[in-house]
A and B are shown apart, each in its own frame.
Chain A
């Protein structure tokens, strides 16, 4: 069965650079979530989209933005990267209308040097 696909799997950027993470949800899922997991931390909710509209927002820095496109894939854009942005970024998708649980991608490990 198709799963949530995230790309790239690993990314190394320098401070002040920009990074774009991509997420391809499970086909026909209507909701996408982004989570950030710092080293030794639990995943923290950043933002979610339902049917291409932002549906909820967590502790997402102003330097970050995200959107969901017409084909339902989502991108997380991070600018002016800081060392503290180094983390594992997870995307998850679900079908909220029938109340499925969220399925997670394998994550993108971002390292800022």
Chain B
């Protein structure tokens, strides 16, 4: 069965600190996709990244970077030099290519608070 675990419920940092949000997933499929979404206090879900299971290259986008390791079934997200505007709930999610649709299975989210 598919499952996404975000063990960190809440993280608080001071501006300019680096922070890593952990995500561990479970799936029986060999082809799957992993996602990160940001949900600011306004409530919308903002897409950050999608990676497929065959692409283990780490990715960097500005202050954001992602570390995908199939060996440990993890897809961690690091924010470098955090800013107050990064305060939000961050969800990791999984979809399986063998599924009837590409529905997303979300983790329980990590609430990040960045203080000035």
Contact surface of A with B, Cβ cutoff 8 Å = 31, 33, 35, 41-45, 48, 50, 55-56, 58, 88, 90, 94, 96, 99, 101-104, 106-107, 109
| Residues of chain B contacted by A33 (CB below 8 angstroms) | 101, 103-104
Of the candidates A43, A56, A88, A107, the one whose C-beta lies within 8 Å of that of B101 is A56
Do B108 and A42 have beta carbons less than 8 Å apart?
Answer: yes
Contact surface of B with A, Cβ cutoff 8 Å = 33, 35, 37, 43-45, 47, 50, 91, 99-109
- Main secondary structure, interface of B, reads loop
Cβ-Cβ contact count across A and B, 8 Å cutoff: 53
Of the candidates B35, B43, B50, B100, the one whose C-beta lies within 8 Å of that of A107 is B43
Do A45 and B105 have beta carbons less than 8 Å apart?
Answer: yes
Given A102-B104, A106-B44, 12 extra CB contacts under 8 A: A31-B101, A31-B102, A33-B103, A42-B91, A42-B108, A45-B104, A90-B45, A96-B101, A99-B102, A101-B35, A102-B102, A104-B47
Contacts A42-B106, A42-B107, A101-B35; A48 near B43 (Cβ below 8 A): no
Do A48 and B45 have beta carbons less than 8 Å apart?
Answer: no
A107 to chain B: closest residue by CB: B43
Please give me the 5 A-B residue pairs with the lowest Cβ-Cβ distance, nearest first: A42-B106, A56-B101, A104-B45, A45-B103, A48-B101
